[in-house]
């Protein structure tokens, strides 16, 4: 029996059997396939490779705001006038206390996130001290999102007990320069490659809803495949007033699901971590999208959302803080 009339299902069956999607067929599916067929294909792949564990992660915004980088989506950039609170690097005691609270609430991973382009020497020493304490006083795996970090500093952080490094591509490489000009995708990839050389796990994903075209969505998914991260955080843009993207419309749930489906079909075995913007992935979203954009019924979109996301993806992971309304990245 063939699935010539349903290329999305045919692709799903090929992936489950060990095959892979190609950029050309993914672009064709995104542009021409019925959305229900695309979502069903992603669900089929999820069901085939899912794990039966939920990897619950909590992050601490260990330094907030006054960032030198000009990322157009981010409330923490010093280039934009937003309502973002600011604070310096939290103390070791504050980091350890937050980690203990996260563990008490069921987390198995704890991530330290700092605003800024990277880390100064003093930052590295302070974070190493915090990581050593967290590893000694809890059972949590430690993750870090510290911007652009060189191999020498990553080695120090690993020696202190860091297990995973987070650095998002954010969007398709061909689009990134239109959203940020103070650093490049190549610099991000260099950080990820350095982490991998040291034997650190890497977490790399991005943000849906920053104006990407269907072709750029596919490009983004395959760029992540080339990096082969251990986890892909999927954020959805929550437009922050005062940023250049502050007036962008919210994505409809159908658009969100399309992005997730593409990421799943291109990266079938990689855990997808639903992070920033989860509060917009709710039953209220279709109604809000309908009001703002004149489409998407509550019943149809909500049922699709439950259908595609109800199953835990391979090694499914959750990040309960993610990107909040200040634009903090997970």
Residue 184: per-residue pLDDT: 98
The CATH-assigned architecture of domain 30-318 is Alpha-Beta Barrel (3.20)
Q: What is the pLDDT of residues 245-289, one digit of tens each?
A: 999 999 999 999 999 999 999 999 999 998 888 766 655 433 333
| Rounded mean pLDDT, 12-16 | 98
Confidence of residue 322 (pLDDT cuts 50, 70, 90): very low
As a whole number, mean pLDDT of residues 22-27 equals 98
What pLDDT is stored for residue 317 in this prediction? Answer: 45
The yes-or-no verdict on residue 324 having pLDDT over 90 is no
Mean pLDDT of 71-80: 98
pTM of the model: 0.87
- Weakest-pLDDT range from 47-51, 166-170, 178-182, 231-235: 47-51
Inform me whether the pLDDT recorded for 323 exceeds 60.
no
pLDDT at 194 over 50: yes
Taking residues 97-114, what's their average pLDDT? 97
Please state, in angstroms and rounded to a whole number, the distance separating the CA atoms of residues 21 and 194.
28
Q: Band of the pLDDT at 55, cuts 50, 70, 90?
A: confident
Please give the average per-residue pLDDT across 187-194, as a whole number: 98
Q: Is the model's pLDDT at 314 over the cut of 90?
A: no
Cα–Cα distances in Å, from 178 out to 49, 70, 138, 175, 208?
36, 11, 42, 6, 15
For the residues 96-114, what does the mean pLDDT come to? 97
| Residue 2 pLDDT grade (very low, low, confident, very high; cuts 50, 70, 90) | low
Element of type H or E holding 164: strand 162-166
Rounded average pLDDT over 164-192: 98
What pLDDT shows up at residue 276?
A: 86
Domain borders along the chain are 30-318
For the chain, the average pLDDT equals 87
**HSE-CB of 3 using CA atoms within 13 angstroms:** 12
Specify the pLDDT at position 308.
52
Q: How many CB atoms lie within 10 A of CB 86?
A: 13
Q: What is the DSSP string of 47-72?
A: HHH--S--EEEEEEEEEBS-BS---T
**115-151 pLDDT, tens per residue?**
999 999 999 999 999 999 999 999 999 999 999 999 9
For every residue of 236-277, DSSP letters joined together read E--PPTTSTTTTPPPPPHHHHHHHHHHHHHHSTTSPEEE-TT
């Amino acid at each position: 029996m063939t699935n010539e009339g349903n290329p999305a299902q045919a692709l799903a069956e090929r992936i489950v059997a060990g095959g892979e999607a190609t950029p050309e067929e993914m672009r064709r599916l995104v542009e021409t396939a019925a959305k229900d067929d695309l979502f069903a294909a992603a669900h089929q792949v999820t069901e085939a490779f899912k794990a039966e564990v939920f990897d619950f992660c909590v992050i601490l915004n260990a330094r907030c705001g006054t960032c030198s980088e000009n990322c157009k989506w981010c409330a923490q950039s010093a280039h934009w006038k937003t309502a973002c609170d600011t604070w310096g690097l939290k103390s070791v005691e504050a980091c350890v206390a937050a980690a203990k609270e996260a563990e008490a609430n069921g987390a198995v991973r704890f991530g330290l996130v700092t605003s800024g382009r990277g880390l100064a020497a003093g930052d590295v020493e302070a974070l190493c001290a915090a990581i050593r304490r967290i590893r000694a006083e809890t059972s949590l795996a430690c993750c870090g999102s510290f911007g652009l970090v060189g191999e020498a500093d990553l080695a120090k952080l690993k020696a202190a007990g860091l297990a995973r490094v987070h650095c998002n591509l954010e969007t398709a490489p061909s689009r990134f320069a239109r959203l940020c000009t103070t650093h490049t995708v190549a610099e991000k990839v260099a950080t990820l490659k350095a982490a991998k050389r040291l034997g650190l796990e890497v977490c790399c994903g991005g943000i849906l809803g920053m104006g990407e075209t269907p072709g750029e969505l596919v490009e983004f998914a395959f760029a992540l495949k080339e990096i082969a991260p251990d986890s892909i955080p999927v954020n959805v843009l929550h437009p922050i007033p005062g940023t250049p993207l502050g007036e962008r419309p919210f994505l409809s749930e159908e658009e969100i699901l399309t992005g997730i489906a593409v990421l799943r079909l291109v990266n079938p075995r990689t855990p997808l971590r639903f992070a920033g913007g989860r509060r917009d992935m709710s039953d209220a979203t279709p109604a809000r999208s309908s009001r703002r954009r004149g489409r998407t019924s509550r019943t149809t979109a909500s049922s699709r959302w439950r259908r595609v996301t109800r199953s835990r993806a391979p090694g499914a992971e959750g990040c309960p803080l993610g990107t909040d309304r200040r634009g903090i990245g997970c």
